[in-house]
Structures are given as C-alpha cells and as structure tokens.
Amino acid sequence: MQCLFCKADNDKVINSRTTADGLSIKRRRECLDCGRRYTTYERVEENPLRVVKKDGRREMYDRKKVFNGLLKACEKRPVSTDIIENIVDEIEREIYSKFDREVNANFIGSLVMQKLRILDMVAYVRFASVYREFKDISEFIDELKPFMQGTKKKMR
C-alpha cells in the first residue's frame, strides 16, 4: 500500500479489525519510511451498480460522492467522519439489498435525508436545500415547519 504522505510503498499493518457491519476490514498502517500512520479499508468487490440521474443519464455508483455529500452537509457540525462512514455503509447495504444493476438517484438522496434528519437537523436542512433545489425562501421555510412545530411542543 502506498503511503498517503510520502508515497513510499513500504508499510506494516499495526491493527486489523472487521467493521461493525462485517462487510469490510479496517486496517491501521504505519509507513516504515516516514513513520506516519493511516487507515485503509478492504471491501468485497460488488457487482457494478449504476445510478440513474434525474435527467436520465446513467453513471457508476460512487461511494465517495455519497460520503462527500454527507461530509459537506455536516461541515462544522459535531459529526465525526466515523459516523459519516457508518451512514454510508448503512446506505450501501440498503441499496445493494434492493437493487441489482440500477438505482435511482432519488432513492439514494432520500436515504441520505432520512439519516441526516435523525442525526443532525442543520446538516439535514443543508442537504435538503441542495438536493431539493429550493427556488426561494418559502420552500426553505416549508421544509423547516415540521421541525419548528416539534421544537415548540418540546419547549412547553
């Protein structure tokens, strides 16, 4: 494995564990040249899954896109990257259990929104505003109304 920092191909595995879902192995590695540590994941190679976009285009499913979308929504929020990784794992399990070859991008977006709604309301609203392409402030407020009503009930 090539070191992320110095690009040397000289490392050793310090720790190796199966992830909580049992679908991958997390390996902690140390570069023998620069001494820095990094984490790698080993996963079973799945059948290629294609995502059907809103405009009908098809592209290969990319785990990084889901991860980056969650990361952006959770920016400056108290959400660790481990939690984001776990959410991506959950989303992938659901996708691969329900679809063989193609999945609609709306299905993936809905799953992300479900997870964020439970995890962090600010991250949820950030993601929703991009995903649902709000055109004006009224659409934004409509999305917030259920949460604002729930907050008022809790405060009484």
Domain ranges in the chain are: 1-45, 46-143
Answer whether 0.85 is exceeded by the pTM: no
CA dist 37 and 60 (Å) reads 31
Tokens of 63: 């785990």
At residue 150 the predicted structure's pLDDT band, cuts being 50, 70 and 90, is: low
Are the beta carbons of 119 and 83 closer than 8 angstroms?
yes
Tokens of 27: 């390996």
Q: For the segment 39-84, what is each residue's pLDDT rounded down to a tens digit?
A: 998 987 767 899 999 899 999 999 999 999 999 999 999 999 999 9
Strand partners, 38: 29
Q: What is the pLDDT of residue 46?
A: 64
Q: What is the pLDDT of residue 138?
A: 75
Q: What is the pLDDT of residue 24?
A: 87
Q: Is 96 exposed, middle or buried (0-12, 13-18, 19+ CB in 10 A)?
A: middle
Helix (H) or strand (E) holding 92: helix 81-98
Q: Is the pLDDT of residue 155 over 60?
A: no
CA dist 87 and 89 (Å) reads 5
Q: Is the pLDDT of residue 141 over 80?
A: no
At residue 156 the predicted structure's pLDDT band, cuts being 50, 70 and 90, is: very low
